[in-house]
Amino acid sequence: MCLISFDNLEIKRNSVGDNMKILNLNLVASSGIAMGAAFIPTELDLTPAKHLITHPEVDTETSAFMDARDLAISQMQKMVENAPAQRDILTAHIEIAKDGSLLQGVLDKIRNDHKNAQMSLKEVEDSLAARFEVLEDPYLRERAADVHDICSRIMANLKGIPLKMYDNMEGDTIIVARELFPSDTSQMDFSMVRGFVTELGGATSHTCIIARNVGIPAAVGQAEILKEINHGDQLIFDGEKSLLLVNPTQHKITFYKNKMAKHLKRKESLKKDMHLPTVTTDDHKVEVWANVGSINDIESAMENGADGVGLFRTEFLYMENTAFPSEEEQYEIYKKGAELCQGKPLVIRTLDIGGDKSLPYYVFPVEENPFLGWRAIRMTLSNEQEDVFKAQLRALLRASAHGNIHIMYPLVISLEEFRKATVILNKCKMELEAEGLAYNKSIPTGIMIETPASVILAEDFAKEVDFFSIGTNDLTQYVLAVDRGNDKIAALYDTYHPAVLRSIQKVIEAGHKYGKHVGMCGEFAADQMATQILLGMGLDEFSISPVDVPLIKHSIREMSLKDAQNLATNALNFGTTKEVRDFLKEEGQAKL
C-alpha cells in the first residue's frame, strides 16, 4: 500500500491490483457509516450575460428581474412545505431575497447604470457576499454562501434554466460535490441520500447542519476530492475512522454491511426506549435534555426523546438577522419552542455574543483579548444594550405564558451581574403587568457556570439562582487558560484535567447543598467516557445534541449510581489528566 499526498488529502492506494482507493477525510462534520454510489451533480452554467441597455429596455429588464425574484421566493416557499427539515435555512433565504439591499441594489444598477438584469444581479450578489466574507466569525463568513445560493436561483430563473440536478438519483447515493447549498439539498430525495462529501465548506456550513439534522454522515473541506471520484463509483463512508473507500473490494463491502447492520440494530433498540425516563439499575433518575439553536432542533430533540431543552443558543437568531430581532419576532419563536416542548423545560440562554461570535449589523469594539472581553452578559447588561436585553427578556416572559420556559444567563462572574439582570427582568415584569400581558410570575432563572469565579462562588450563587448549567466548553478554557479555538494548544484543552473535574464536582455539591438543579450543557455531557463519572458526581441533567439523546439515555440505564459514585471518587483523586484518562479507559468506559 502506498501513500500519495494531495495538499490536505491523503490517499492510500492498495497494491493488490484492485481498484480500491482509501481516502483520509480530514473534516468529518457528521459521523456515521454509509454506502452508496457517488452522485456528482452537474454544474449549471449560471454565468451572467453582461451588456448595457438602452432607455426603453429599462422596464423590460426591471420586470424580468422582479419576475425571477418573485419566482425564486415562491419556489422556496414551496420547498419549505416539501422539506420541513430545512425550514429555518430556506426561510432565511426568503428573507434575503425579499431584503431591500438586494432589490434596491439591482434596480439602481438597471435604472441608473443601465446594466442588464443579469449583470446587475451578479454585481449586487458579489458586493453583498463580500460583506460577509470579511467577517471574522466563521459562521457568519459562511453566510456569504447563502447570498450566492439565493442569487444563483434568481439567476437561473432569469436565464430560464430549470434547477433539476438531482432528478436522476437512483438507490443508495452519496453526494460528492464542490459545495452544497440549500437549493441543492432541498431538491434531493432523502430516502436515497446516504451521505455528503464536499470540497468546500466548514463545520458550520449548511451541508453539515442538514446532515446532522437528517442523521447522515458528512465530510466537508475535502480539497481536490472530485479529482479522485467519478460519478457512479461505489463508495463507503466510514465517519468513525474518517475514511472514504472508493470502489471497495468485496471483502470490505461485506465487512461494512455487517457493521452497518449492527449499527442499525443498536439504533433500533435505542429507539425503543428513548422516550422512557432515564433511571439507573439502582433506581436513580436523571434527566437527558438537548442543546438546540433553532425551532427545527427543538422538533428533533422531542423526536429523539429529550426530557427537555437544557440550552437554546439564541445567538443564532441574532446572527442570521439583518438587525437586532424585535421583541415580537423573538416572542413568536420562543412561544413556538415552548409549545413544541409541551410542558417540558425549555432553558433559553440570553444573548451570548462577542468573543468569537459577531453580528453582521453591529460593530464590536476592537479588543486585544475578545474571549476575556465585552461579551455575553457583560454586553447585555451594559447601559448601551439595555433595550436589546429588555426586548429579549420581555419576549421570554411573554412566551413563558405558553410553556415551561427557564431563563439562563451566560458567562456570569459575580452576584452583582445576576442581581442586575434580575432587576431588569423585574422591570420587564412590571411593564407587562401594566400592559395586561400574561407571563409566568415565577419563571425560573439560572446561570451558566463557565468561569473560575462562578465555580469559587458556587455556594453563594446557589442561594440566589434557581439552577446551574455547567458550560464545560468555556469552563475548560478559562480554568486552564487555554483558548478553545487555538489549534496549536489544542492538546492542552482537556476537560479531563483534574482541575476542571474538581470544579465540576464543587459546583454540583454547591448546587445540591441548596437544593438546586445542576445540569451540564457543555460538550463534555455527551462524552461517553465521561457519562459514568458525571453520574457519580451527582449531575442532575445531561444536555446534549438531539441525536445523541437515545444513546446517552441508554448508557445511563445500564449503569448503577453506586458504581458510578465509586468510579467518580477514584477518578477525582488523580492529580494528572493522563492518570484520569488511563483510569477511565481501564475501567472500560471507552467501550460503552
Task: Specify whether the CB–CB gap between 173 and 197 falls below 8 A.
Answer: no
Listed in sequence order, the residues at least 6 apart from 580 whose beta carbon sits closer than 8 Å to its beta carbon are 496, 497, 498, 501, 571, 574
Binding mask 252-281 for ligand PEP (x = CB under 6 A): ------------------------------
Give 394 or 497: the residue with its C-beta nearer to ligand PEP. 497
Should residue 353 be labelled a site residue for ligand PEP when binding is judged by CB under 6 A? no
Should residue 337 be labelled a site residue for ligand PEP when binding is judged by CB under 6 A? no
Q: Which of Mg ion, ligand PEP, none has residue 521 at its interface (CB below 5 to 8 Å by kind)?
A: ligand PEP
Give 119 or 475: the residue with its C-beta nearer to Mg ion. 475
Give 242 or 473: the residue with its C-beta nearer to ligand PEP. 473
- What span, in angstroms and rounded, lies between the C-alpha atoms of 15 and 279? 52
* DSSP strands (E only) in 178-331: 193-198, 218-219, 234-238, 243-246, 278-279, 285-292, 309-313
- Count the Cβ atoms, other than its own, within 10 Å of residue 404: 18
By beta-carbon distance, which residue lies closest to Mg ion?
474
Should residue 450 be labelled a site residue for ligand PEP when binding is judged by CB under 6 A? yes
206 is catalytic: yes
Burial of 146 (0-12, 13-18, 19+ CB in 10 A): buried
- What span, in angstroms and rounded, lies between the C-alpha atoms of 590 and 60? 66
Torsion of CA 184, 190, 195, 199, to 10 degrees: 0
First-to-last alpha carbon distance for the chain, in angstroms, is 33
Would you state the cell numbers that stand for residue 284, as one nine-digit string? 436513580
Applying CB under 5 A, among 125, 233, 297, 474 the residue interacting with Mg ion is: 474
Should residue 355 be labelled a site residue for Mg ion when binding is judged by CB under 5 A? no
Positions in 493-522 near ligand PEP (CB under 6 A): 521-522
Total residues contacting ligand PEP (rule CB under 6 A)? 10
Q: Which of Mg ion, ligand PEP, none has residue 530 at its interface (CB below 5 to 8 Å by kind)?
A: none
Give 238 or 450: the residue with its C-beta nearer to ligand PEP. 450
* DSSP strands (E only) in 80-239: 173-177, 193-198, 218-219, 234-238
For the bound state, the minimum distance from the C-beta of residue 392 to Mg ion, rounded and expressed in Å, comes to 17
Q: Which of ligand PEP, Mg ion, none has residue 30 at its interface (CB below 5 to 8 Å by kind)?
A: none
Positions in 31-70 near ligand PEP (CB under 6 A): none
Should residue 541 be labelled a site residue for ligand PEP when binding is judged by CB under 6 A? no
Which residue among 206, 402, 497, 517 is the active-site one? 206
Task: Specify whether the CB–CB gap between 459 and 514 falls below 8 A.
Answer: yes
Listed in sequence order, the residues at least 6 apart from 409 whose beta carbon sits closer than 8 Å to its beta carbon are 349, 350, 377, 417, 418, 421, 445, 446, 447, 448
Cα 208 to chain centroid distance, Å, stands at: 9
Should residue 471 be labelled a site residue for Mg ion when binding is judged by CB under 5 A? yes
Q: Which of Mg ion, ligand PEP, none has residue 522 at its interface (CB below 5 to 8 Å by kind)?
A: ligand PEP
Give 144 or 525: the residue with its C-beta nearer to ligand PEP. 525
- What span, in angstroms and rounded, lies between the C-alpha atoms of 508 and 318? 32
Positions in 313-332 near ligand PEP (CB under 6 A): 313
Listed in sequence order, the residues at least 6 apart from 575 whose beta carbon sits closer than 8 Å to its beta carbon are 498
Give 233 or 450: the residue with its C-beta nearer to ligand PEP. 450
For the bound state, the minimum distance from the C-beta of residue 534 to ligand PEP, rounded and expressed in Å, comes to 14
For the bound state, the minimum distance from the C-beta of residue 571 to ligand PEP, rounded and expressed in Å, comes to 20
For the bound state, the minimum distance from the C-beta of residue 116 to ligand PEP, rounded and expressed in Å, comes to 46
Give 176 or 311: the residue with its C-beta nearer to ligand PEP. 311
Give 217 or 471: the residue with its C-beta nearer to ligand PEP. 471
Applying CB under 6 A, among 321, 473, 560, 565 the residue interacting with ligand PEP is: 473
Angle at 412 between CA 408 and CA 417, to 5 degrees: 95
Positions in 174-213 near ligand PEP (CB under 6 A): none
Listed in sequence order, the residues at least 6 apart from 265 whose beta carbon sits closer than 8 Å to its beta carbon are none
Q: Segment near ligand PEP (CB under 6 A), from 266-274, 385-393, 467-475, 568-576?
A: 467-475
Helix H, strand E, coil C: the string for 306-347 is: CCCEEEEECHHHHHCCCCCCCHHHHHHHHHHHHHHHCCCCEE
For the bound state, the minimum distance from the C-beta of residue 375 to ligand PEP, rounded and expressed in Å, comes to 10
Q: Which of ligand PEP, Mg ion, none has residue 109 at its interface (CB below 5 to 8 Å by kind)?
A: none
Should residue 138 be labelled a site residue for ligand PEP when binding is judged by CB under 6 A? no
Listed in sequence order, the residues at least 6 apart from 503 whose beta carbon sits closer than 8 Å to its beta carbon are 452, 455, 475, 479
- What span, in angstroms and rounded, lies between the C-alpha atoms of 215 and 50? 42
* Contact footprint for ligand PEP (CB under 6 A): 311, 313, 352, 450, 471-474, 521-522
* Contact footprint for Mg ion (CB under 5 A): 471, 474
Catalytic residue list: 206, 521
